[in-house]
Amino acid sequence: MLIQVITKLDQISTEWLTSVLTQSRALTHGAVQTFELGTGQGNWSTSANLKVTYTPDAQGTLPQRLFLKMVDTDTGDGEFFTDGEVTYYTRDYVDVKNAPLLRCYDAAYSKEINRYHLLLEDVSETHIEAYDKTPTLDYGLALAEGLAILHARWWGKARLTESGVGGHDANYIQNWVKIAEPGAGHILEHKSAELKPHWVDLIRELYAKHPQILIHRSQDLNGFTVIHGDVGSSNVLVPRDGDRPLYIIDRQPFDWGLTTWLGVYDIAYAIVLDWDVELRRQCEIPILKHYYETLLQNGVSNYSWERLYDDYRLCVAMGVYIATEYCRGGINERWMHVWMRMLQRSLTACDDLDCKVLWKG
C-alpha cells in the first residue's frame, strides 16, 4: 500500500483520522466522529490544529487535540529539506525513554513530490515557544538534559554506523562553510562599523583556519552524534508555567546542513546565539556540566569533560557561520536584527572563551 502524504487540508477526513489513530494504537476501538480545523502558516510549512471527537464506543488514549504539519521540501531556490523531521519522530528516538519529543501519530514522506506531513499531539494549551519566555538557568538545565538524552542514543562511531548515517567528510564540511562564506564578505564590506575593530580580522582568520580544525576533529567520531542542528528558542516548546517537560521540535535540515556533528553544537547554538551575553556567561558552565552528567547517565563513556569543553569552544566559533549565512546573497536587511545579534554574540563568546587558540595552538 502506498503511503499517502497529506498535502492539502481537504484530504483530511474522519476515515483517515480513524485509520492513522488506530494504527498508532491511540484509538483501539470505535472511530473519529467529527473534527474541527484551525489553520496556520510557518516559514516552510502549512499547519492545522484539529479538535477531534469520537464515537461513544471509542476506546484508547483518544487525543482530543492534534497538530498537522505539511511541508514542501523544495524551498524554491535549488535547496531541499531532507526527510530528517519524519525520521526524527518515527525512527531515531522511538526507543528512547524520556525523549523530549511530541507524540507522533502519523508521518509520511515522498521524495517524488517533495512533500511530507506529520500528525503530532497538540500541546498549545499548556506550552508556548521558548522564544516567548525569558531564558533562565533552570530552562537551560532542562534543555541540556533533553538534548543529552537524544544525543546519547547515537553517540560515537559505532552507533552512528548503526544509524546508517555516519559522519560528514571533508568535502561536505568545506561545502557547509563555503555556503556561508560570501555572507561574511558582504558584512565586512557594508556593516563592519557594527562590529568591534578586532572582530574584522577574527572573522577573516576564522574562515581561513577554523574549517581545517573542524575537518581534523571529524576524523574521530567520539563526541559526534545525530544532532538537531537548529535549537533556537522558536524550536523549543516550554510549559507556560515552569520549565518541564519541554519539547524540541522542527528538526528540518537542508540537504547541505550538518546532521551528524559534535553533540555539544546543539548547546552552543541554543545559548550562544539566542541568549543575552551576560546570562550566557553566568549559566554556560552549569549547563555544560549538566549536559555532560546526563550523557554519562545515559551510557556515554570515554569522553572527558575537558574534551567536551574544547568541543564546545570549537562549536561556539561555528556560530559565526550561522550568522553570516543569512547574508550569502547580500546584506539581508529584513533579518538584520536576527543575524547581527547572532554574529555579535558569537564573536563575544569567541573572545570570552579564547576560541582562536584552538586554531592557533
Distances (CA, A) of 275 to 94, 243, 292: 31, 16, 20
- Please indicate, yes or no, whether residues 150 and 57 belong to a single structural domain of this protein: no
pLDDT of residue 289: 98
Task: Read off the pLDDT of each residue in 186-207 and give the average, rounded to a whole number.
Answer: 97
Distances (CA, A) of 208 to 182, 202, 212, 314: 13, 10, 8, 15
Number of neighbouring beta carbons within 10 Å of residue 335: 12
Mean pLDDT (the chain, rounded): 95
Task: Read off the pLDDT of each residue in 160-182 and give the average, rounded to a whole number.
Answer: 93
Please state whether beta strands 260-262 and 224-226 pair in parallel, antiparallel, or not at all (unpaired): antiparallel
The lowest-confidence range among 71-85, 93-107, 148-162, 231-245 is 71-85
Q: Cell triple for residue 109?
A: 514522506
- Please indicate, yes or no, whether residues 100 and 201 belong to a single structural domain of this protein: no
Task: Read off the pLDDT of each residue in 251-259 and give the average, rounded to a whole number.
Answer: 92
What is the count of structural domains for the chain? 2
Q: Please state the pTM of the whole predicted model.
A: 0.95
- Please indicate, yes or no, whether residues 138 and 49 belong to a single structural domain of this protein: no
Distance CA 346, CA 5 (A): 39
Domain membership flag for residue 2: no
Task: Read off the pLDDT of each residue in 59-88 and give the average, rounded to a whole number.
Answer: 93
**Amino acid at residue number 174:** Q
Does position 43 have pLDDT exceeding 90, yes or no?
no
- Four-point Cα dihedral 201, 202, 203, 208, nearest 10: 90
Does position 2 have pLDDT exceeding 50, yes or no?
no
Instruction: Kindly report the backbone phi and psi dihedral angles of residue 48, in degrees, each rounded to the nearest multiple of 5, phi listed first.
Output: -150, 135
pLDDT of residue 149: 98
The lowest-confidence range among 69-83, 112-126, 192-206 is 69-83
Number of neighbouring beta carbons within 10 Å of residue 43: 8
pLDDT of residue 40: 67
CATH of residue 331: 3.90.1200
Domain membership flag for residue 68: yes
Task: Read off the pLDDT of each residue in 289-297 and give the average, rounded to a whole number.
Answer: 98
- Please indicate, yes or no, whether residues 116 and 132 belong to a single structural domain of this protein: no
Sign (positive/negative) of CA torsion 81, 82, 85, 86? positive
